[in-house]
Structures are given as structure tokens and as C-alpha cells.
Chains A and B, each alone.
Chain A
Amino acid sequence: MAMAVGCGEDATSDPSPAGGEAAAPDGGPVGGAAVGGAAAGGAAAGGAASGGVTADAGPGGAPFLDVGPSGGATPPPPEGGEFTIEVLHEERVTLSPAGVSPDVTFDVPEDAVAFTIFGLGERPTDYFVVEHLENAEGEAFVTEDPGVPAGPFDQFLSPWPGQFRSPNRAAPSEAMATLLFPNNPELSVTPGRWTLRVASLDPNSGRPGGGEVLVSVRVKRAAQPPQRGVLKLNLYFTGARGWTADTALQDPDFNAALDRMREFYEPIGIDVVPVSFTDISNEYATIDSFMAEAGNELAEMFALGETDQGVNLFFVDRFGGQFGGQIGGIAGAVPGPSGELLGGTPRSGVAVGTSIAPDPRSIGHVMGHETGHYLGLFHTSEIFAQGVNDPIPDTPQGQQGTSNLMYPTVTPEDAELSPQQGTIVRGNPTILPTEVMP
């Protein structure tokens, strides 16, 4: 087994410069600093009702900006272009003593193909979930009682097992509730007034969470389901594996890992394009705490990901945790936040451990897998919970499905995303129109 580049003395004797200053490389195959260019349609988003989001929107505002309820008139359909992405609704709500928000309603236009819901809480270590979601006809897609028999793994799966077994799976995460609709190809968006609720839980006490939640709904609108799109990558370097903002694009291992990641997304019509390169403190090269703990380092690092378009990808050496327990990588949430107001949250990123393998293809596999979570995909099958599979019919089910990128184990071998996984991912508003890129 060959030694990894960056595992030797050079990797630690010459740490990358600390600090959060953006450092776009000169030239290189993907260009330098953030790529501009407006998405089709839509003005800059803000607190205004139904504001559009342009692909080159500036840095996201701080969480908990003073936004009022929005909604009301449905915006006109997009003119030209493949699709547009817009903020459909923003509203600050207060959780009840039971830890549940009041109903939040939003109007879905005729040409909506998918939307994301983010509910950013005030308490970063509490758990949040989209507790309920129904369309104008009252059809519930996320509900406490989905009518599916309880399973033996329910309590293992989630504090909200009903929502987990719902037609559109809702998984909890720290600090914010997140949901992509649809994440099941058998569901589709229908126009009209939808209703959602967010719930919260304090994991330390097991009691309901509290405080305010900033709810944001972003929609992708198109005449036809999008067939192509762009995934912007904002890359953050701790100096792990010797990779830095200035040098990464000249590093063969880095390029091999990036190429591997592209191999997963190109066949489903998604161009993976790094657009920004930033060095952060070497202190984050080892992430010692990444679970629900006050001030956990992972959340702290993700909050450095202030870029609010695309996916913030952080390269670390390793994960520590209790007894130094290794994982290969981790996504901020399923799906992860992206869009106005959603940069710099404790969930705003994907982290990948670069010490896990000498072979950069395995690192590229983890980059692709965790980004798949961030874009809304679940594991095809769970290694513990036999019979618990993703809701996507064309993915290989069970423990033989190792050829799929979203199977839970790492491999340098060939793997792919299925066509229906591609449809789900392309619907996510994090995937931008191709015309935003030069």
C-alpha cells in the first residue's frame, strides 16, 4: 500500500496559512474567484415577498435577519432559460411549549418542480425536523402518522419516526430543519397553498425545543423537469493532505479526487464546478467533536462557510470524537442549506477526511457521497436496519447495492447514481442553471 501524499513530514511541517481570507488561484482549469453571471429571471432575494435569487447573489445575510412573513401573489413564470430559483416564502415563527411551530403556509406556482424548506433555529444544538407538510388538497407528505406500520428500527432511526417513514422522508438535523420535496420520484409538486410545521427537541433533556425559527422556502421553477444544471463548489482548506487554496489545482491527488466526484455527477447532467478556494485555520484539520454538543467543532467550521450558493466542501485530515473514532465524511444535513440567509449556519457544509485513504479516488467517493446527502439523497440501504431502503425505485436495494454512490460504505471501485436519483438531485434548488456559468 503506497503512502499518501501529504501524510509525511511535509504535511505538518508546513501548515497552510490560517485565516478565512478567500484565495482564488490564478487560472487553472476551472477559473479563479467566484463565477458571476445571473440566473434566468428573478431579482435579488431579500425579505420581500417571493423575491428571486440570482446565481451570483452576494454573501448571505446573517441568520435571523428581521424578515416578515412573505407570500401572497404567485410570481410570474420564468421567461426563457432552463429554470429559475426563487425564494417563495420567509417567515419567523415561535415554537409552542410542545416544540412545534404554528402552521406556515406558502403558495406554490404552477410551474414548480421542486422546493426546499429550511427552518433555522435559535438553538444550534437542538434537533429540528419538518414535522408536517401537506399540499392544497390536504394530502400529507410528511406527517407524524404516515399509515405505515412501525418498524423495529424506528427509535434508532429518528426521534420523529413517523416523519421518517412518511412518503417524503424528513430527517432531523441539528440547528435547522431541512427538507427537499420531492425526495421520492413517485411524488410531484402541485400548485396551490401548502402548509408546513417545524418541530424541535433538546437532545440533552429530551424535552421540546423552543425559541424562534426562521423558515425559508425556495422553489425551482421550470416548464419541464431540468435535465442539466451546475453544482458550484466552494472549497475550504485546513491544510489537510497538503492541499491549500493556492496549490490544490496543481495537486494531482486533489484533481484525481475532484475528477472522481465529477464522474458521479456528469452522467446525471450536473457539472461540478469549483468556484472559490479558501484557506481556514489548521485548527480544524482534526475535528474532535461532530455530534450534538455545545460548540462542537464541526458546526463551528461549517459556520465559516458563508458562501450561500452551491455546496461548501471542507477538507480536514480526520475526525476525532470519542476515542478518536474515524468517519470518512459528514454532510451538514439532508438536504443541506443553500441560498439567501443560509450561508454561515452550523449546517452549511460537507466535510471530508483526507487521511482515510492513500488513493484519492476513495476521497473523491466520499466527496461525492456526502455531497449526495447535501443534495437530498439518503443511503440506498442502511447497514443496521435491514429492509430500510431509500424511497427511490431504481436504486439497488439491500446490501448488494454497493455499486451505487449512496450505499453507505467507501470504495475506490466504480459506483454511480441512478437516473431517478439524478432527477431528485436536479430538482434541488442548490443546482443552478447552466447559463450562470461562463
Chain B
Amino acid sequence: MKSSAARASLALALNLCLAASAAAQAPSNDVPLPERLLAAIDVPLTLDTIERAGLTEAVALRVLGDGTRTRYERLRAASALPFFATPTARAALERVAAADSDLELRVQAITGLTRGFGLADPLGVRAALDVALSQPDTPLYVRDHWAKERAVLESPASTGLPR
């Protein structure tokens, strides 16, 4: 775990493209830090960044459920929820996967469910998504994605699933 944590921290540093000049204290931002994280272009969502930003499950749920937010913010919120690993987070993702009007959100929620919850409960995740996505009006785009993620669920080592 120590090695993993160090790796994550170092990898994060590589991707942040950070500045180093110790300039004057930055002014405060109108947008709270947790929500800035959800709009960040190239800052990965990791346990470390979520903790540093103070992003809570409640904030992620609120942004995910807010149709006035940009798709990107909602995608990031859906990506963050598996880190909390709660039944509430899982239920929210199941709702989005089943019925959100934005197909990209549905796809993201499927990914979050398989990769965030599928390792601990592969049968439960598979059953829930099979039911949710078996409706005849489920778009092919969503069904295709579920087919890919189901393969991931059956063979976690085939992708970047946590090991």
C-alpha cells in the first residue's frame, strides 16, 4: 500500500502540470474547491485528490443530480462516487445508468458501477445492470457499453481495474 500510495502521489504530480513560483496568496474563489475539482481538465480523481479537495459524497451526489451542471462536471461527479463505496453512491449510479437523459452519463455510471463496486460484488452489479439495461428502449450505445463493461467485470485484470 505504501508503494501504491507513493506511486499515486508521484503520478498525480506528473499530471498536474503544476507551477512552482511562490507567489502571493491567491485570492479566494467563488467556486468551492470540491466543485473546482469536478471541473478540472487534467487533474485525475483519486483518493488523494478527493481528500485534498474536500470533495464529499454529498457534493458529488448533488452535482450528479443537477441537470443545470455541465456534462463534464456530472461525469466527474459520477467518477468520484465509487471512491465513497457506499450503498447511497451505488444506488445513485444505478439510477443514472438506468435512465439518465444523457447517454454519456449512463455510460459513465455503468463504468463506475463495474469498476467501483464490481470487484466486491460482481454478481450483484451484473444482475442490477442486466435488469436496468434490458429494456427494449435502452439505446444501443448504452447496451454496447454494458457489454464491454460486463467483460471487464468477468476479467478485471483486462483493464485498469484496481487490483
Contact = CB atoms under 8 A, between A and B. Distances in A.
B46 interface: yes
A157 B13 contact: yes
B112 A204 contact: no
B87 interface: no
B76 A326 contact: yes
Interface stretch (A68-76, A227-235, A304-312, A392-400): A392-400
A288 B111 CA distance: 11
B151 interface: no
Nearest to A358: B71
Q: Helix, strand, loop or mixed for chain B's interface? A: helix
Contacts of A329: 41-42
Given A165-B22, A327-B44, A387-B22, A334 B79 contact: no
A161 B25 CA distance: 19
Interface string A349-379: 0000001111000100010011001000011
A423 interface: no
Given A7-B104, A205-B3, A369 B16 contact: no
Contacts of B83: 323
Contact of B27 (A399, A408, A411): A399
Contacts of B101: 1
Contacts of B22: 148-149, 151, 165, 387-388
A165 B20 contact: yes
A324 B118 CA distance: 12
Contacts of B29: 398-400
Interface stretch (A36-44, A95-103, A168-176): A168-176
B160 A288 contact: yes
A320 B111 contact: yes
A164 interface: yes
Contacts of A148: 20-22
Contacts of B111: 320, 323-324
Contact of B46 (A127, A325, A390): A325
Given A358-B71, A384-B53, A387-B24, A4 B104 contact: yes
Interface in B1-25: 3, 6-25
B72 to A, nearest CB: 5
B141 A321 contact: no
Contacts of B21: 148, 165, 169, 388-391
Contact of A172 (B14, B80, B159): B14
B92 interface: no
A321 B160 contact: yes
Contact of A326 (B14, B53, B108, B140): B108
B79 A408 contact: no
Interface residues of B, number: 72
Contact of B6 (A9, A206, A331, A389): A206
Contact of B33 (A12, A369, A383): A383
Nearest to B159: A288
Interface string B73-117: 001101110110000000000000000011110011001101110
A158 B160 contact: no
Contact of B71 (A1, A11, A383): A1
A322 B46 contact: yes
Interface string B39-64: 11111111001001100000000000
Interface centre among A9, A149, A321, A325 (most CB of B within 10 A): A325
Given A326-B79, A362-B70, A9 B18 contact: no
B67 to A, nearest CB: 7
B154 interface: no
A382 interface: yes
B131 interface: no
A356 B71 contact: yes
Given A293-B160, A387-B22, A325 B44 contact: yes
B79 A324 contact: yes
A203 B5 CA distance: 10
The 6 residue pairs across chains A and B that have the minimum distance between CB atoms: A399-B29, A324-B111, A398-B26, A291-B11, A409-B39, A289-B160
Interface of A: 1, 3-4, 7-9, 11-13, 127, 148-149, 151, 153, 155-159, 161, 164-166, 169, 171-174, 201, 203-206, 286, 288-293, 296-297, 318, 320-331, 334, 355-358, 362, 366, 369-370, 373, 378-391, 397-400, 408-411
11 contacts: A12-B141, A159-B13, A203-B6, A321-B44, A356-B75, A384-B33, A387-B25, A388-B23, A390-B19, A391-B21, A397-B26
Interface of B: 3, 6-29, 31, 33, 36-37, 39-46, 49, 52-53, 67, 70-72, 75-76, 78-80, 82-83, 101-104, 107-108, 111-112, 114-116, 139-141, 144-145, 148, 159-162
